[in-house]
Chain A
């Protein structure tokens, strides 16, 4: 199952793209309560939003973003059938990608 959920909504001729990613977003300073050891940093570094194959937003982020990050973008125009793709890469090299079609 993909870690990314994408929802789109038409708003006054624009398209709102909302995404929810399930990711721990650990910044490396939290301690595991049972073992008393630091939890290693694990966070998304780059998030890319693509519209019909063209990147429209490239977000670089650190661990200052909450666990299970949520983002929203507003696309100018956009028509039903357009493809939205969201990709992320984290600091451990894991990645995921999800496609969505505007309805």
Chain B
């Protein structure tokens, strides 16, 4: 009786240890770009995002976002572009505590199109940044938030 209990305990411990190991490895595999999502100033985030590439304002990216958002917790945004060789599409909200909202690596199989829903802490400029081989293209639009959007 006692022996079987001990055996049971040992196997349980062994299995839970294996479970923790699996859990850890899955976290490591996710490769989240934590440096880009540091809470900080807008300028610091932009510097991190651009990686030394020059930034050019363009009209070839279409940023579709309401000018007045009633609720900052849910602001629909659609980014489309006629630029051909976009590798990376990022959305940055100037006044958020963590300015970078999303950074999407789009493979050539996808059209330069991304739609999402953002949280806006307050009235702010929203930037869409498209990274190509040599330069980063940006477009910005001001969104007025009438209710504080901090609520989840």
Q: Does B bind A?
A: yes
* Bound-state Cα–Cα, A26 to B101, Å: 13
| B104 adjacent to A58 (CB under 8 Å) | yes
| A62 adjacent to B100 (CB under 8 Å) | yes
| A69 adjacent to B103 (CB under 8 Å) | no
The verdict on A76 contacting chain B, using a C-beta distance below 8 Å, is: yes
Cβ contacts under 8 Å, B31 to chain A: 46
B-side binding surface: helix, strand, loop or mixed?
Answer: mixed
| A95 adjacent to B102 (CB under 8 Å) | no
Known A25-B152, A27-B119, A57-B104; contact A45-B32, beta-carbon cutoff 8 A: yes
* Bound-state Cα–Cα, A64 to B115, Å: 14
| B37 adjacent to A93 (CB under 8 Å) | no
The verdict on A6 contacting chain B, using a C-beta distance below 8 Å, is: no
The verdict on B106 contacting chain A, using a C-beta distance below 8 Å, is: yes
The verdict on B129 contacting chain A, using a C-beta distance below 8 Å, is: no
* Bound-state Cα–Cα, A64 to B74, Å: 10
| B73 adjacent to A67 (CB under 8 Å) | yes
Chain B contact residues, CB within 8 Å of chain A: 23, 26-27, 30-33, 36-37, 73-76, 78, 93, 96-107, 109-111, 113-119, 150-152
11 A-B pairs with CB atoms under 8 Å apart are A25-B119, A26-B152, A27-B97, A46-B32, A57-B105, A60-B37, A62-B98, A64-B96, A64-B99, A64-B102, A64-B118
